[in-house]
Structure 1
Amino acid sequence: MLSTDFDAIVIGAGFAGATAARDLAQGGYSVLLLEARDRLGGRVYYGTFAETGLPVDFGGTWVSSTLNHFVGREIERYGVGYDESPPIQTYGSLFGGHRFESSVPIHPEELQSFERTALHVLTAASRFDPTLPIETQNYRDLDIPWSEFLAQADPEPATRDLFDSWVLLEGGCPTSEISALAGIWTIVQHGNSLINFVLAADKKIGGGPLALLDPMVGHPGIDVRLETPVVRVHQEADAVTVATAENQLITARGVVVAVPVNCWDDIEFAPALNEDKRRGCALRPGTTGVKAFALVENAPPYFAGMSAGPIHRVSTEAEYEGASLVAFFTRTDLLDVNDRDAVQRALEVMMPGCTVIKCEGHDWTTDPYSDGSYATIPVGIVQHLAGMRAPEQRLAFATADIARGKTFWIDGAIESGSAAAAILQRVLERSALISQ
């Protein structure tokens, strides 16, 4: 057998890469985990807010204790439990020019419109089996812009804004660019339920995401190297050579590529990746969606609200020295989340009379190691998903962007990481048998 530096190299230490590295190490393989950033987590980013010491997740936060089975598996494995956001007491959603200060933001004059639109969406979702990959099912007539799909139900203005706000929150880009499959598949993965779609992500990982990531990458057999970007992956018949930005060459019997799809074309692959991967990468599934935080005075107590924009959702996360720390979702093409005046104008529409003291968020679109935030399903990408997931000789691929289940969720990242590790383990086992 050819001598290599490691059995496996995993590129990227987000949840997908950490899971793949842990699973391979558990299988008895020596693993090198390379991460370009100076921290673990990838697009899951746990930090503190604006010099207050308040812990916040600038990327990746809420999970479902009932529907996120892969997250649940890891929480049980490491015994970290769940944390919860404070219960909501006040509401202020804006749809169709109306303000709704209740937990059910449906305009009384649009009940039939809501019913008609909900039936339209749920009927489309009922066509899918959540246990099968979406690309193996009858999806093509639904691979159209969400805006076009929703127009088929002829919703009234407030109803349209309500359904758009859900998809804008999940999709992170204009509804003319999001495939209807993005919203539909999310509903499928939430038990074909609009209620679950909104309410199921009710908890956080106990102690923050590092409570899972640290023990994952701390498994014996894993060598972790931060601040080590990879620029080239060269496959030969029985080994793979990985080149770092510092021109260090490292060899392994196999590699898991666990970086976002938008970053695949930042790495030189030899031989080149297959056509599905190249075309899927060109469709740019990483979005401009962003979650940010603001410390706000005169906010309604324990508030939650939604709208079609520029802020798609806002909710109270904590109280601090007489002010409220709120999390809000928007898009970086709509709002600079680090501009206090701009955030003040946007939040004041949701919470009249409030005053923004500080605000902070991470612009994932300018982050070179993500080149976009959480992924969505753009029109046309589903036909490439099988090829995007497919291994290539000694390479396997892991990212929530191509998960079979909950795309763009932590759950999808863990699922994808385990799948990639299993694929690479079969490659390594087969090559070991051949070399004997």
Structure 2
Amino acid sequence: QPVPRELRPDLDKALDHIIEQSRRVTFGADLDNPDLHDLDISFAEFIAPYTEQPFVAEYLTMWSAFAFGCHPSDNSALQVLTWVAGYDNAVWTLDDAPATKFAQGTASLVEALAADSGADIELSAPVASIADTGDHVEVTTSGGDAHTARFALLAAPVNTWQDIDLPIDADSLKARFAREGLAGHALKLHALVDNVPEFLMASGWGGPLCWTSEQANFDGGRLLVGIGEDDSAIDATDPAQVQQAIRQFAPEATVRICHGHNWTADPYAKGTWTTYRPGQLSRYYSDFAVPHGRLYFAGSDLARGWAGFMDGAIESGTDTAAVLSQRLRDDG
């Protein structure tokens, strides 16, 4: 159902506040600017003055949980405002902007990048340690294979850093950042469903899913994607559980098949897309791209702009590659 007309003024006040505060943020600029520290609080605290009306409280909670994959008490309002600033200070764009899809799937992009790079790629060879000897680095896999290079670039998710023996001090900013970890632990699933309205897009709070939307009409059914803030709420591969969750929005829905991946339990992810905890941007943002000796860092988790998106991974990789290329030239 649409937002009740009588509640729109209360919701608009909250959304206007989000837009107004997002104008303080320059997208891609330094987010640890002291002038922004008051925004690096939990989104729950940020919206608290506007949540007296239960509907508005539930809507804003859902909106944040859908976008960031955790309860709004766990994510930074500054990151939320950064996304809004990146969308030209429009709050509604978060609902429909991520709409472009690869015709052959994301794997086609990964394979094209790999082919274009000309790099030697080893699979099933997780890194156990990186050592900096002073004039080169030594990378050792969990299987005991060793690789030597002049420099190393770590692009693994921040939540996996503690599983690698890194040449950084335990009290360094990066080590502290890794110990805290990022907050995202979203539930995301796909389901082929019958008996749902055409072009369904629905959201709400109080169930395993806080948002669902039709992605395609497939084999006479509708392919839905669903997102929730807690990946332990249901088993995304269990049709009965997924059907019950979707019926929160479409009571007659019948699930044929469904699929999901628990990224939090995945040892090479340990979480979903980038979601900063309150205070992390103020404490660690300027250190994101700072190398430690011969070890450099990149990845969507460390992007200055679209952290959490492929755009952020490309941006961070491009920037770090330029810096490292110059270091290689200077190093002879």
- 2:124 is the counterpart of 1:244: no
Aligned length: 329
Provide the C-alpha distance between the structure 2 equivalents of 1:375 and 1:220, rounded to a whole number of angstroms: 25
For 1:328, the equivalent position in structure 2 comes to: 226
Encode CA deviations 1:275-304: one digit per residue, 9 max, x unaligned.
111111122215211321112121111211
* Superposition map of 1:379-418 within 5 A: 379-382=278-281, 383-418=283-318
For 1:372, the equivalent position in structure 2 comes to: 271
* Cα deviation, residue 220, structure 1: 5.4
* Superposition map of 1:172-183 within 5 A: 172-183=69-80
* Cα deviation, residue 367, structure 1: 0.4
Provide the C-alpha distance between the structure 2 equivalents of 1:358 and 1:210, rounded to a whole number of angstroms: 22
Helix, strand or coil: the match of 1:270? coil
Kept in 1, the 8 Å contact 2:168–2:175? The answer is no
For 2:87, the equivalent position in structure 1 comes to: 190
Provide the C-alpha distance between the structure 2 equivalents of 1:110 and 1:171, rounded to a whole number of angstroms: 25
For 1:52, the equivalent position in structure 2 comes to: none
> Structure 2 length as normaliser, TM-score?
0.94
* Cα deviation, residue 336, structure 1: 2.1
> Structure 1 length as normaliser, TM-score?
0.72
Provide the C-alpha distance between the structure 2 equivalents of 1:180 and 1:429, rounded to a whole number of angstroms: 40
Would the alpha carbon gap of residues 137 and 215 (structure 1) be closer, same or farther in structure 2, given more than 3 Å must change? farther
Helix, strand or coil: the match of 2:12? helix
Kept in 1, the 8 Å contact 2:208–2:245? The answer is yes
- 2:113 is the counterpart of 1:216: yes
Kept in 2, the 8 Å contact 1:162–1:307? The answer is yes
For 2:324, the equivalent position in structure 1 comes to: 424
Structure 2 unaligned runs (5+)? none
Counterpart of 2:280, as a letter, is I
Kept in 1, the 8 Å contact 2:50–2:57? The answer is no
Of residues 312-321 and 164-173 in structure 1, the stretch that sits farther from structure 2 once superposed is 312-321
Provide the C-alpha distance between the structure 1 equivalents of 2:136 and 2:170, rounded to a whole number of angstroms: 17
* Cα deviation, residue 273, structure 1: 6.5
Would the alpha carbon gap of residues 297 and 222 (structure 1) be closer, same or farther in structure 2, given more than 3 Å must change? same
Kept in 2, the 8 Å contact 1:133–1:405? The answer is no
Q: 2:62 aligns with which of 165, 181, 188?
A: 165
Structure of greater relative contact order (alpha carbons < 8 Å, 6+ residues apart): 1
Provide the C-alpha distance between the structure 1 equivalents of 2:240 and 2:168, rounded to a whole number of angstroms: 49
* Cα deviation, residue 208, structure 1: 2.1
* Superposition map of 1:327-366 within 5 A: 327-330=225-228, 331-366=230-265
Helix, strand or coil: the match of 1:377? coil
* Cα deviation, residue 233, structure 1: 0.2
* Superposition map of 1:36-435 within 5 A: 100=1, 105-136=2-33, 138-219=35-116, 221-272=118-169, 275-308=172-205, 309-330=207-228, 331-382=230-281, 383-432=283-332
Provide the C-alpha distance between the structure 2 equivalents of 1:163 and 1:429, rounded to a whole number of angstroms: 50
Provide the C-alpha distance between the structure 2 equivalents of 1:129 and 1:137, rounded to a whole number of angstroms: 13
Would the alpha carbon gap of residues 246 and 392 (structure 1) be closer, same or farther in structure 2, given more than 3 Å must change? same
Runs of 4+ in 1 over 6 A off after TM superposition: none
